[in-house]
Amino acid sequence: MVAIKKTKRDGHLTECLTGGGFRFTPQRHRVYAVLLAKRDHPTAEQVFIRAKHEMPEISLATVYNCLDALVKCGLARQVTVERGPTRFCPNMQEHCHFYCDGCHGIFDISLPAQMGTAMPRGFRAERFEVTIRGRCPACANLMR
Amino acid sequence: MVAIKKTKRDGHLTECLTGGGFRFTPQRHRVYAVLLAKRDHPTAEQVFIRAKHEMPEISLATVYNCLDALVKCGLARQVTVERGPTRFCPNMQEHCHFYCDGCHGIFDISLPAQMGTAMPRGFRAERFEVTIRGRCPACANLMR
DNA sequence: GTTTACATTTAGAATTATTCCAACTATTGA
DNA sequence: TCAATAGTTGGAATAATTCTAAATGTAAAC
């Protein structure tokens, strides 16, 4: 048994996990803390490396499991803007992603009413990609 | 040497390829034809299977090479909306992608002025994802 | 039209990212 | 406390992609 100091934020974690049929575990707590600590859209492997600093015995399979649980219970989202490993983002507010073609970094940008005119200072937008998720006509029909 | 019947469209292919420093080859011709023939955002593997019907000796490595060349010379784009294999799309006009959470199909949707109100009949939009590509402040500075 | 230089293709090996598996451990609820 | 079940672990397996080296094809110079 590992001692866990719970903060107010952890209450939210517990709620969301149990609400999704998941248990609260020290590993999930750690993985979520890693996501919140540095919001640079890390890959599963990067999360693994960071989580190991405070929890050396955690395994990569567990990190994948924890990230999956967080995504399923609405505490994080997967970000896939390029070929390569999936990245994770704990910002659940409506926002869009700025992908830098130079350093391949991903930055959160708040969704402005007039996109393009409201870019943060210094960012140079060159291409917009919009993905809409939902149900196509055939699949929407299957749900009734 | 393989005989190639060139159409007007193939002239465009040749132009774009040579413009990007690539050579015109029967394999690239075939791969591009496959993309144009059925615009269902196929994976590299699906392109490979389709290309083999008319060119049984083509290899998967070549299909990856050809798709890469097409992307680099502006004749196709990669579409990565979910974890899993990258998909390819020869529609180079401004448009966005509708991803069906049911069948995982990807549909091209023209980019409307007011998104959400202008969905094609039957499509149920549930979530919008916007990715902006360009240069972050640090990388934009490096280019001057 | 040869020759030469280099790009491309091919099959298979290697690598990367992710998932699966089976044994063990922890948590929950009776 | 005990049984049932969920979660963790390390390693094996799989999937997607890239790399490699040899053979072949293409273009451009002579």
Cβ separation of A126 and B139 shorter than 8 Å?
A: no
Q: Tell me the residue type at A39.
A: R
Question: Which residues of chain A carry a pLDDT beneath 70?
Answer: 1-9, 111-118, 143-144
Query: pLDDT digit string (tens) for B61-72?
Result: 999 999 999 999
Give the list of residues 6+ apart from residue B35 with CB closer than 8 angstroms, or none.
B42, B47, B70, B76, B88, B89, B90
Residue A42 to residues A35, A85, A129, A131, B20, Cα–Cα distance (Å): 8, 9, 21, 21, 33
List, for residues A43-76, the tens digit of each pLDDT value.
999 999 999 999 999 999 999 999 999 999 999 9
SS3 B111: coil
Going by the DSSP 8-state scheme, the letter that residue B98 receives in this structure is E
Residue of B nearest to A143 (CA): B102
In angstroms, the CA A121 to CA B56 distance is 53
Say if CB A109 and CB A97 are below 8 A apart. yes
Q: pLDDT of B101-141, one tens digit each? A: 888 889 888 766 555 556 788 888 888 888 888 888 888 88
Distance A143 CA to C15 C1' (A): 41
CA distance A1 to A26: 9
- The closest alpha carbon to A66, from A37, A23, A106, belongs to A23
Residues with CB under 7 A from strand D: A 22-23, 25, 27-28, 55, 57-62, 65-66, 69, 83; B 1-2, 23-26, 43-45, 60-61, 64, 68, 84-86
Give A1-39 as a DSSP string: -------HHHHHHHHHHHHTT----HHHHHHHHHHHH--
Q: How does pLDDT run across B11-50, given as a tens digit for each residue?
A: 788 888 888 889 999 999 999 999 999 999 999 999 999 9
Predicted local distance difference test score (pLDDT) of residue A9: 62
pTM of the model: 0.85
Do residues A111 and A96 lie in contact, with contact meaning Cβ atoms separated by under 8 Å?
Answer: yes
A-chain residues near B132 (CB < 8 A)? 96-99, 109, 115, 119, 123, 125, 127-129
Model confidence at B6: pLDDT above 60: no
What chain A residue is nearest to B112 in terms of C-alpha separation? Answer: A130
Give the pLDDT mean for B78-96: 91
Spacing of B49 CA from D20 C1' in Å:
24
β-pair partners for B98:
A132, B107
Alpha helices in A20-132 (DSSP H): 26-37, 44-54, 60-72
**pLDDT at residue A1, as a whole number:** 41
Q: What is the mean pLDDT of residues B46-60?
A: 95
| Euclidean distance between CA atoms B45 and B66, whole angstroms | 12
For Cα atoms A34, A40, A43, give the angle at the middle one, nearest 5 degrees: 70
- Give A-chain residues touching B97 at CB under 8 angstroms: 129-132
CB contact under 8 A, A136 and B142: no
Alpha-carbon span B84 to A86, nearest angstrom = 9
Strands B95-100 and A95-100: unpaired
| Residue B5: pLDDT band with limits 50, 70, 90 | very low
Q: Which residue among B100, B107, B136 sits closest to A103, beta carbon to beta carbon?
A: B136
> What angle (nearest 5°) sits at the alpha carbon of residue B33, between those of residues B27 and B38?
135
Is B139 within 8 Å of A101 when comparing Cβ atoms? yes
The answer, yes or no, to whether residue B7 has pLDDT greater than 60, is no
Q: Which of B126, B131, B139 sits opposite A133 (nearest CB)?
A: B126
Q: Which nucleotide is nearest to A27 (CA to C1')?
A: D8
pLDDT at A104: 85
CB of B133 under 7 A from strand C?
A: no
pLDDT score of B86 more than 90: yes
